[in-house]
Structure 1
């Protein structure tokens, strides 16, 4: 795993438990920081902004630049992926997973662990314990690979 990838995952995990204030508002100090990193104000879905913010913060600490597209759009990130990044169907720790619900809606987060049964432990923003793509917090989830469109790997 690259230093940027490793630190991005560590930063994302440091946000575990962050919640919207008030719940279900797409707002609150941390959420608004994630959204601001992609040029948006409060009120927007923020799972991709959370991933972008995590990578941007890691890049800043490592004195480099983020290879991600500056967007809150999950599918835009997937469709316009930087050629310096690897797109794969075989996940490893630190990969950014992409889910496609159709009609332009998606969800994303980081792979924390590939479990022995093949499922994935993830850390995600804008989710909840029920697994919503429009939740209210940063938390760990378990995802089935069949739910995932693909993975973006920071090299």
Structure 2
């Protein structure tokens, strides 16, 4: 199994995981994601979720994790310049840039016919917040909203 497919499957297995308590950036699973990038509870964790999923897949497949160890969305984008792509495929992860150093990320699960993406994201919610409280599947991210995609 390819690393991207395995990482996506691991991310899918986390759908429904929530912060405990809600809106705390804490809880057993969230703290496991944050620990994978060297952080404790209380930090935004969307990039840590992506990193943890890929790290977990790389361990299971006994292959090298290609990502930089960071919880920073834009830091990851900058460090992974060689892996950037502009057209998404399932298993890639997206990068959103909201300015002032803030961003959001998650996995592309499916490219939909309407120009939108079906995604799996940590630190989101059904309203689409980048500071949500759960791992969720989203159907409304527009390709045009993305700074880019990372294919590993």
Fold equivalence (TM over 0.5): yes
C-alpha deviations, 1:2-59, integer Å up to 9, x for none? Answer: 7000000000010000000000000000000000000000000000000000000000
In the alignment, which of 114, 117, 129 is matched to residue 117 of structure 1? 114
Instruction: Find the counterpart in structure 1 of residue 60 from structure 2.
Output: 61
RMSD (Å), alpha carbons: 1.0
Residue 128 of structure 2 is aligned to residue 131 of structure 1 = yes
Q: 2:143 aligns with which of 137, 142, 145?
A: 145
Partner residue of 1:88?
Answer: 85
**Which residue is 1:29 aligned to?**
28
Task: Specify every segment of 5 or more residues in structure 2 that has no aligned partner in the other structure, as ranges.
Answer: none
CA distance in 2, matches of 1:65, 1:92: 21
Shift of 1:82: 6.2
Tell me how far 1:64 sits from its aligned partner: 1.4
Q: Give the whole-Å Cα distance in 2 for the aligned partners of 1:149 and 1:113.
A: 18
Cα contact 1:69–1:82 (8 A) shared by 2: no
The unaligned stretches of length 5 or more in structure 1 are none
SS of the aligned residue for 1:99 comes to strand
Structure 1 length normalisation: TM-score? 0.95
Contact residue 68 and residue 82 of structure 1 kept, 8 A: no
CA distance in 2, matches of 1:15, 1:35: 14
